[in-house]
Structure 1
Amino acid sequence: MNNLNQDFTTLEYLARGTERQRSAYETLSKLKIMDVLHGYDPILVGTIPIHIDLPDSDLDIICEVHDFNGFKQWMVSEFGDLQDFRCVTRTVDGIRRIVANFRFQGWPIEIFGQPVPTKEQNGYRHMLIEHRILTILGDEGLSAIRELKSRGLKTEPAFAKLLKLEGDAYARLLEMVHWKEAEWIDFTEAWMGPKRAFPN
């Protein structure tokens, strides 16, 4: 199902993916969005790359941004005429962020920027962990996550429920970034064993 070594830093994998992924590829390519954002090290993250999106899921692109005024002006000049465009800045947990939203070809698109390298941002790290988990759990696990999300759970809480992780779902998943290979082997063996059961 999933390629453990999938390169998410380009969009080419979308062109070979599901119908929704191919649609996303066409939309983002028509916007030339990765070229527009090239100087900000953009990466598409979220649910669409790992095939756990719902019909209303958006296309989330993260960027490394330090000049917020310049970035906002760039967003307005490139996307300001598109449907439902808005761009706001705020500070969360002491880190400034900027978010631009708009719609194009029926897709809701969100561009997120903060002064952190994109591969170190939580959105990217969460996606890599979730991708690895889904690679281990297979199609049954993917279906279980999609079902939990269809009931209203956000992505990380859905994974936490499936894996029976206690505490803050976002923090618990980020802990897995630091797992050594032996811990992943233990996790895999536990879930591939005969007692594996997915919640209803």
Structure 2
Amino acid sequence: MFESIKYLQKGNQKRAYQAISELDIMKHLAAYNPILCGTLPIGIDIACSDLDIIMEVDEFERFEEQVRELYGNQQNFKVKKLHIRENPVIKANFWFSGFEFELFGQALPVKEQNAYLHMVIEDAVMKRHPSIKKEVIELKEKGWKTEPAFCKVLQLEEGDPYKELINYGKNTGFI
């Protein structure tokens, strides 16, 4: 469902579509199976939401060279290699056309990455319980991150909200 960004061509997401298209990220980085994840694809973005594009990256050095060559001249460009939940990841961040971009890579198929799974779960929750959307957006506007906001609304407030949301998705059959 989220493999293409064509769904962004309508409504308030059109600016994001234009920015991603102008940079031609999906084409330039197609070898990494890029998917736009996060709040924008599921319509819970707020003014400060960034554009998270996740990818399957096995060779961090090659990926870093490529993104530096393609986007290194963009405002506030930086690359970090770190570990998230004991998994090595690489992130490139920059600003373009009023959006902060985060290109996120790890050696895992994109549809198995937590960012994708969280988005699928959050989308399914809002389809089943449409009233939740407003509550989540209100929490996000107060500074909450997306996953903790969903956990609060769903009353899953014990433990790590990122893990809790995955468990909730498995228990409900959303993933």
TM-score per shorter chain, which class?
A: over 0.9
Q: State the one-letter code of the partner of 1:96.
A: P
| Equivalent residue, structure 2, for 1:43 | 35
| Equivalent residue, structure 1, for 2:60 | 68
| Equivalent residue, structure 1, for 2:6 | 12
| Equivalent residue, structure 1, for 2:117 | 125
Deviation, 1:176, is 2.8
CA distance in 1, matches of 2:18, 2:8: 9
Q: State the one-letter code of the partner of 2:170.
A: H
Deviation, 1:94, is 2.7
TM-score scaled by structure 1? 0.83
Q: 1:143 aligns with which of 131, 134, 138?
A: 134
CA distance in 2, matches of 1:35, 1:62: 14
Instruction: Label 1:160 to 1:93 Cα distance change in 2 as closer, same or farther (>3 A).
Output: closer
Q: State the one-letter code of the partner of 2:106.
A: Q
CA distance in 2, matches of 1:141, 1:51: 12
Deviation, 1:180, is 5.4
Q: 1:91 aligns with which of 83, 91, 115?
A: 83
> How high is the sequence identity, in percent, across the aligned residues?
41
Deviation, 1:90, is 1.4
TM-score scaled by structure 2? 0.94
Q: 1:162 aligns with which of 149, 153, 168?
A: 153
CA distance in 1, matches of 2:171, 2:21: 35
| Equivalent residue, structure 2, for 1:102 | 94
**2:102 corresponds to 1:115:** no
Deviation, 1:166, is 2.8
Where 1:119 maps in the other structure, the secondary structure is: helix
Deviation, 1:133, is 0.5
Please identify runs of 4+ aligned residues in structure 1 that moved more than 3 A: none
Structure showing greater Rg? 1
Deviation, 1:105, is 0.7
CA RMSD of aligned residues (A): 1.3
Comparing 86-95 with 154-163, greater Cα deviation is found at 86-95
CA distance in 2, matches of 1:98, 1:70: 11
CA distance in 1, matches of 2:101, 2:94: 5
Q: State the one-letter code of the partner of 1:125.
A: L
Deviation, 1:109, is 0.4
- For these two proteins, the number of residue pairs brought into alignment is 173
